[in-house]
Amino acid sequence: MNWVVTGCRGQLGHALVALLEREGVPVRAADLEVDIADPAALAEFLAVSPRPQVVANAAAFTHVDRCEREPEAAARANHEGPAVLAKACREIGARLVHVSTDYVFPGDGSEPYAETDPTGPRSTYGRTKLAGEQVVQQTCEDALVVRTSWVFGRGRNFLAAILAQAASRRSGEAEGPLKVVDDQIGRPTYAVDLALGLYRLVEAEARGLYHLSSAGRASWWDLARFCLDEGGYPDLVVERIRTGDLELPAERPAWSVLDCSKAETLGIRMRPWQEAVRAYLHSEDSPLAKTTGGNP
């Protein structure tokens, strides 16, 4: 099948394009050069022969705090763009794969969130992403919508930031312990694994709403501590703090563990997040690769 991937320079988009190319799947990719919220520009891009049979939308405005400051931009990227894309896919008969987020949930649960559980986002990011996934499902009856969480991969991400802060302390450029919140619980997800999961869902002809994240659960503190231990900084102190201590513009869900059992019934089960972090640290995309060749 011919694929189109939007948001190809993001963590997931890059991983998905790389996977498709390795598998020998014809793929065309686009990022900011194609505004998916512009019907004319999108139609022109999709009209290039051969027309796609699968369109994977990895484009989104994911900076949670900026979404609070720029709600119109967030709505355009996370809601209006998917709406235009869904209509275009319906018109050309392409399957749409749309990626959403754990932030559509309120975060006040204690059991993993299933696809059927009530939503209740508490941030602009979460609200615009929920609106996007809803319009996709309303417009394309055969669309595949996949919610995921805490993605890390090539480029800017939480683990890269933690490693950069660790390096600055080891070099003497910065002092004191790192401070990481310990009252948000979720499922860290490696973009490479997520890309494979999406591909396998499409191969299985899955439709509707699915959750897909790495196995296990962790706080941001757990994730930072594990990353530093594996990355060569076991001696670096990481202080536990509360989310409220940071006074962030956007509210984060305290609990956003996704129940992925629906995907598992199709044989799609992702590895534990600890294994995924190790794989990332040993990959060419790891910040450690610049000095160690990817072998921390």
Q: Are 128 and 66 in contact (CB under 8 A)?
A: no
Is 125 among the catalytic positions? yes
What angle is formed at CA 193 by the lines to CA 187 and CA 194, rounded to 5 degrees?
70
**Which residues partner with 100 through β-bridges?**
147
Going from the C-alpha of 271 to that of each of 15, 189, 192, the distances in angstroms are 17, 9, 11
Q: List Cβ neighbours of 245 (8 Å cut-off, separation of 6 or more).
A: 179, 181
The active-site residue, picked from 125, 190, 199, 210, is: 125
Catalytic residue numbers read 125
